[in-house]
């Protein structure tokens, strides 16, 4: 069974440019998560979807970040415009049910963003 797929794996952009990350969760998984991980730190939850609904987006900087999960499958995370401090690894994860955080989360390999 394929795991969580993310693309691109690496992205280098100049500040003020837009950028988008794509995530394809494990087939049949209802819950999808986006995390941000800075170097030497643990992941920080940005947004959680149960099917198409964003049930927790309190940590998403809404002035420049947006996310969508159309049809409750794939998801896209966008930053516009990007700032130097956005350089980090963006992780996507999925879990099978909608039992909050009790379900095991399966993580993708991440997208490493570098903003110059």
| Interface ranges with another protein (CB under 8 A) | 40-45, 56, 58-59, 91, 93, 100-102, 104-110
Q: Which of 72/109 has CB closer to another protein?
A: 109
Long-range contacts of residues 101-105, Cβ cutoff 8 Å, at least 24 apart = 103/31, 105/33
Q: Which of 8/18 has CB closer to another protein?
A: 8
Q: Which of 18/100 has CB closer to another protein?
A: 100
* Least distance between another protein and beta carbon 17 (Å): 27
* Least distance between another protein and beta carbon 109 (Å): 5
Q: Which of 58/70 has CB closer to another protein?
A: 58
Helix (H, G, I), strand (E, B) or coil at 71: helix
* Least distance between another protein and beta carbon 58 (Å): 7
* Least distance between another protein and beta carbon 43 (Å): 5
CA distance 51 to 61: 21
> What are the strands of the beta sheet with 5-7, ordered from one edge?
5-7, 19-24, 75-79, 65-68
HSE-CB of 28 using CA atoms within 13 angstroms: 4
């Amino acid at each position: 069974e394929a795991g969580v797929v993310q693309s691109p794996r690496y992205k280098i952009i100049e500040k003020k440019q837009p950028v988008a990350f794509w995530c394809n969760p494990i087939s049949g998984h209802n819950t999808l998560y986006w995390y941000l991980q800075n170097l030497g730190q643990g992941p920080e939850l940005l947004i959680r979807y149960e099917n198409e609904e964003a049930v927790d987006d309190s940590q998403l900087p809404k002035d420049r970040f947006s996310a969508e999960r159309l049809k409750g499958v794939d998801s896209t995370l966008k930053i516009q415009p990007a700032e130097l401090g956005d350089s980090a690894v963006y992780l996507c994860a999925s879990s099978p049910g909608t039992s909050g955080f009790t379900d095991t989360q399966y993580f993708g390999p991440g997208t490493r963003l570098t903003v110059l």
